[in-house]
């Protein structure tokens, strides 16, 4: 049983250590209680791509640092209708079907600008965005002050536990 994180670097502006960020996402997911077969995508995209996604899904016509797309999926009963008794031919047993958690899209160019504003390293900013994206996939939000404080505290806790800025 494992969490599969499909990572891709689809931008050319900044060098990205995919293995490092996959590991951080994986550890954060485990700490948040994700168990068994699960899948997450972690994409590093250019500004044009993330701006288009931000416009399409958030209604904001600008590039942003991170977007999360949770998959809110409730499996339909399998088997015969109307009694849903027994799986159909060729269907994998339910224990072998991975939980699709969602997709995280990060824009390193925006992250680099934010790192300067926040007076942190580029890697520190990417680490925060990875953890922030994971928490959003799992239902955390920051629309109101109380939620924002709780989410920031959890981000800090996960970063303290799983991220070292002196790693290569």
Q: For 3-74+97-162, which CATH class? A: alpha beta
Please give the mean pLDDT across all residues of the chain.
Answer: 87
What is the domain partition of the chain in residue ranges?
Answer: 3-74+97-162
Non-local (6+) Cβ contacts of 82 within 8 A are none
* pTM greater than 0.85: no
66 within 8 A of 132, measured Cβ to Cβ: yes
Query: Over the stretch 2-58, which tens digit does the pLDDT of each residue have?
Result: 899 999 999 999 999 999 999 999 999 999 999 888 999 999 999 999 999 999 999
40 within 8 A of 102, measured Cβ to Cβ: yes
Query: Over the stretch 112-127, which tens digit does the pLDDT of each residue have?
Result: 999 999 999 999 999 9
């Amino acid at each position: 049983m494992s969490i599969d994180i499909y990572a891709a670097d689809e931008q050319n502006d900044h060098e990205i250590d995919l293995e490092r960020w996959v590991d951080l996402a994986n550890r954060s997911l485990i700490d948040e209680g994700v168990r068994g077969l699960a899948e997450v995508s972690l994409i590093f995209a250019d500004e044009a791509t993330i701006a288009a996604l931000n416009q399409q899904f958030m209604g904001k016509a600008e590039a942003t640092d991170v977007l999360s797309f949770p998959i809110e999926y409730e499996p339909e009963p399998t088997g015969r209708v109307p009694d849903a008794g027994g799986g159909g031919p060729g269907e994998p047993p339910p224990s072998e079907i991975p939980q699709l958690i969602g997709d995280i899209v990060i824009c390193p160019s925006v992250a680099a600008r934010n790192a300067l504003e926040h007076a942190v390293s580029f890697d520190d900013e990417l680490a925060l965005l990875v953890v922030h994206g994971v928490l959003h996939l799992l239902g955390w939000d920051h629309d109101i002050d109380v939620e924002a404080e709780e989410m920031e505290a959890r981000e800090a806790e996960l970063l303290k536990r799983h991220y070292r800025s002196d790693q290569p």
